[in-house]
Amino acid sequence: GRLMLGYNRAIYELIDPGGAPPHALPTAVFTAEAVNWEWTSFTAGPEAVYAAGFSGNRGTIMRILVDDTGALPVMTGATEVASLPTGEYPLVIRTYLGTKMGIGTSLGFRVAEIDAGGGLAYGPLIEADGPVFDMVGRDRFIYYTDSAQGNSGLVRVDLSTLNPSGRYAYATDLK
Protein backbone atom coordinates (compact mmCIF):
# COMPACT_ATOMS: atom_id res chain seq x y z
CA GLY A 1 0.00 0.00 0.00
CA ARG A 2 2.96 2.38 -0.51
CA LEU A 3 4.00 4.36 -3.57
CA MET A 4 7.79 4.62 -3.81
CA LEU A 5 9.88 6.83 -6.09
CA GLY A 6 13.56 6.48 -6.89
CA TYR A 7 14.65 9.84 -8.28
CA ASN A 8 18.30 10.65 -8.83
CA ARG A 9 20.04 9.17 -5.78
CA ALA A 10 17.10 9.46 -3.38
CA ILE A 11 14.16 7.23 -2.39
CA TYR A 12 10.87 8.93 -1.56
CA GLU A 13 7.59 7.62 -0.21
CA LEU A 14 4.90 9.53 -2.07
CA ILE A 15 1.97 10.47 0.12
CA ASP A 16 -0.89 12.60 -1.17
CA PRO A 17 -0.63 15.85 0.79
CA GLY A 18 -4.05 17.01 -0.42
CA GLY A 19 -4.71 20.36 -1.98
CA ALA A 20 -3.92 21.48 -5.49
CA PRO A 21 -0.73 20.59 -7.37
CA PRO A 22 2.13 21.27 -7.76
CA HIS A 23 3.60 19.60 -4.70
CA ALA A 24 7.23 19.42 -3.68
CA LEU A 25 8.87 16.07 -3.07
CA PRO A 26 8.69 14.89 0.55
CA THR A 27 11.81 14.34 2.65
CA ALA A 28 13.87 11.49 1.23
CA VAL A 29 13.69 8.16 3.06
CA PHE A 30 17.24 7.38 1.93
CA THR A 31 19.88 8.89 -0.36
CA ALA A 32 22.63 6.78 -1.94
CA GLU A 33 26.21 8.03 -1.57
CA ALA A 34 27.24 7.36 -5.19
CA VAL A 35 26.66 10.43 -7.38
CA ASN A 36 25.49 8.41 -10.42
CA TRP A 37 23.22 5.99 -8.53
CA GLU A 38 20.13 4.66 -10.36
CA TRP A 39 17.14 3.04 -8.60
CA THR A 40 15.56 0.31 -10.75
CA SER A 41 12.86 -1.47 -8.73
CA PHE A 42 10.89 -1.65 -5.47
CA THR A 43 8.95 -4.51 -3.90
CA ALA A 44 7.14 -5.09 -0.62
CA GLY A 45 8.30 -7.89 1.66
CA PRO A 46 6.77 -9.40 4.78
CA GLU A 47 8.68 -7.06 7.15
CA ALA A 48 10.10 -4.34 4.88
CA VAL A 49 10.12 -2.55 1.55
CA TYR A 50 13.05 -3.45 -0.72
CA ALA A 51 14.78 -1.15 -3.22
CA ALA A 52 17.20 -2.27 -5.95
CA GLY A 53 19.70 -0.09 -7.71
CA PHE A 54 23.20 0.31 -9.07
CA SER A 55 26.07 2.63 -9.83
CA GLY A 56 28.44 1.64 -12.61
CA ASN A 57 29.16 -2.07 -12.20
CA ARG A 58 28.04 -2.34 -8.54
CA GLY A 59 24.46 -3.35 -7.72
CA THR A 60 22.72 -3.73 -4.36
CA ILE A 61 19.36 -4.36 -2.74
CA MET A 62 18.37 -2.23 0.25
CA ARG A 63 15.86 -3.05 2.99
CA ILE A 64 13.69 -0.20 4.31
CA LEU A 65 12.03 -1.03 7.62
CA VAL A 66 8.68 0.37 8.70
CA ASP A 67 8.27 1.58 12.29
CA ASP A 68 4.63 1.12 13.27
CA THR A 69 4.94 2.00 16.97
CA GLY A 70 3.49 5.53 16.51
CA ALA A 71 0.10 6.72 15.34
CA LEU A 72 1.19 6.37 11.68
CA PRO A 73 3.73 3.90 10.27
CA VAL A 74 6.99 5.62 9.28
CA MET A 75 9.81 4.38 7.02
CA THR A 76 13.11 4.27 8.92
CA GLY A 77 15.98 4.54 6.44
CA ALA A 78 17.68 1.81 4.46
CA THR A 79 20.20 -0.98 5.04
CA GLU A 80 22.03 -2.95 2.37
CA VAL A 81 20.92 -6.60 2.50
CA ALA A 82 22.44 -7.90 -0.75
CA SER A 83 25.38 -6.88 -2.89
CA LEU A 84 25.59 -8.55 -6.30
CA PRO A 85 28.92 -9.61 -7.79
CA THR A 86 30.87 -6.88 -9.58
CA GLY A 87 29.55 -6.44 -13.12
CA GLU A 88 26.03 -7.64 -12.28
CA TYR A 89 23.28 -5.27 -11.20
CA PRO A 90 19.57 -5.67 -10.35
CA LEU A 91 16.93 -4.47 -12.82
CA VAL A 92 13.75 -5.84 -11.22
CA ILE A 93 12.89 -7.44 -7.87
CA ARG A 94 9.66 -9.14 -6.77
CA THR A 95 8.78 -10.93 -3.55
CA TYR A 96 6.74 -14.11 -3.82
CA LEU A 97 5.16 -16.50 -1.31
CA GLY A 98 6.38 -14.34 1.58
CA THR A 99 9.81 -15.97 1.76
CA LYS A 100 11.26 -15.69 -1.76
CA MET A 101 12.49 -12.84 -3.92
CA GLY A 102 13.12 -13.02 -7.64
CA ILE A 103 16.00 -10.84 -8.79
CA GLY A 104 16.20 -10.01 -12.50
CA THR A 105 19.69 -8.76 -13.28
CA SER A 106 21.83 -7.49 -16.11
CA LEU A 107 23.16 -11.05 -16.54
CA GLY A 108 20.20 -13.30 -15.70
CA PHE A 109 18.03 -14.34 -12.78
CA ARG A 110 18.53 -15.24 -9.11
CA VAL A 111 16.23 -16.44 -6.33
CA ALA A 112 16.79 -15.07 -2.84
CA GLU A 113 15.49 -16.44 0.45
CA ILE A 114 14.06 -13.81 2.82
CA ASP A 115 14.90 -14.58 6.46
CA ALA A 116 12.79 -13.71 9.52
CA GLY A 117 14.60 -10.38 9.98
CA GLY A 118 14.15 -9.34 6.35
CA GLY A 119 17.69 -10.24 5.27
CA LEU A 120 18.40 -11.82 1.88
CA ALA A 121 20.51 -14.81 0.86
CA TYR A 122 20.55 -15.16 -2.92
CA GLY A 123 21.42 -18.26 -4.87
CA PRO A 124 23.45 -18.93 -8.01
CA LEU A 125 22.88 -17.02 -11.23
CA ILE A 126 20.69 -18.58 -13.90
CA GLU A 127 22.28 -17.06 -16.98
CA ALA A 128 20.02 -15.46 -19.57
CA ASP A 129 20.47 -14.40 -23.19
CA GLY A 130 19.99 -10.78 -22.13
CA PRO A 131 18.98 -8.68 -19.15
CA VAL A 132 15.90 -9.79 -17.18
CA PHE A 133 13.40 -6.93 -16.98
CA ASP A 134 10.26 -8.60 -15.60
CA MET A 135 8.81 -11.62 -13.81
CA VAL A 136 5.60 -12.95 -12.31
CA GLY A 137 4.81 -15.66 -9.74
CA ARG A 138 2.10 -18.28 -10.13
CA ASP A 139 1.59 -21.40 -8.06
CA ARG A 140 5.06 -22.74 -7.17
CA PHE A 141 6.74 -21.04 -10.15
CA ILE A 142 8.33 -17.72 -11.01
CA TYR A 143 8.31 -16.94 -14.73
CA TYR A 144 10.80 -14.41 -16.06
CA THR A 145 11.51 -12.84 -19.42
CA ASP A 146 14.58 -13.86 -21.39
CA SER A 147 15.12 -12.15 -24.70
CA ALA A 148 17.97 -11.15 -26.94
CA GLN A 149 18.46 -10.05 -30.53
CA GLY A 150 14.75 -9.28 -31.00
CA ASN A 151 13.52 -12.72 -29.85
CA SER A 152 11.17 -13.16 -26.90
CA GLY A 153 11.58 -15.87 -24.30
CA LEU A 154 10.06 -17.11 -21.06
CA VAL A 155 11.77 -19.20 -18.38
CA ARG A 156 9.98 -21.04 -15.55
CA VAL A 157 11.70 -21.53 -12.16
CA ASP A 158 10.28 -24.26 -9.90
CA LEU A 159 10.52 -23.01 -6.32
CA SER A 160 9.74 -26.47 -4.93
CA THR A 161 12.85 -28.15 -6.36
CA LEU A 162 16.27 -27.05 -5.07
CA ASN A 163 19.30 -28.99 -6.27
CA PRO A 164 22.43 -29.63 -4.11
CA SER A 165 24.26 -26.61 -5.61
CA GLY A 166 21.53 -24.28 -4.31
CA ARG A 167 19.92 -23.62 -7.69
CA TYR A 168 16.21 -24.05 -8.27
CA ALA A 169 15.12 -26.22 -11.18
CA TYR A 170 14.26 -24.19 -14.28
CA ALA A 171 13.17 -24.71 -17.85
CA THR A 172 12.84 -22.58 -20.96
CA ASP A 173 9.15 -22.46 -21.86
CA LEU A 174 9.34 -20.14 -24.88
CA LYS A 175 12.28 -19.13 -27.00
Separation of alpha carbons 75 and 64, rounded Å: 7
Query: How many residues appear in the chain?
Result: 175
The CA R_g of the chain, rounded to the nearest whole Å, is: 17
Task: Report in angstroms the alpha-carbon separations of 12 from 2, 44, 126, 128.
Answer: 10, 15, 32, 32
82-112 pLDDT, tens digit each: 999 999 999 999 999 989 999 999 999 999 9
In this prediction, residue 175 carries a pLDDT of 65
- Rounded CA gap, 50 and 1, in Å? 14
Q: What's the confidence (pLDDT) of residue 129? A: 87
Identify the band that residue 22 occupies on the pLDDT scale cut at 50, 70 and 90: low
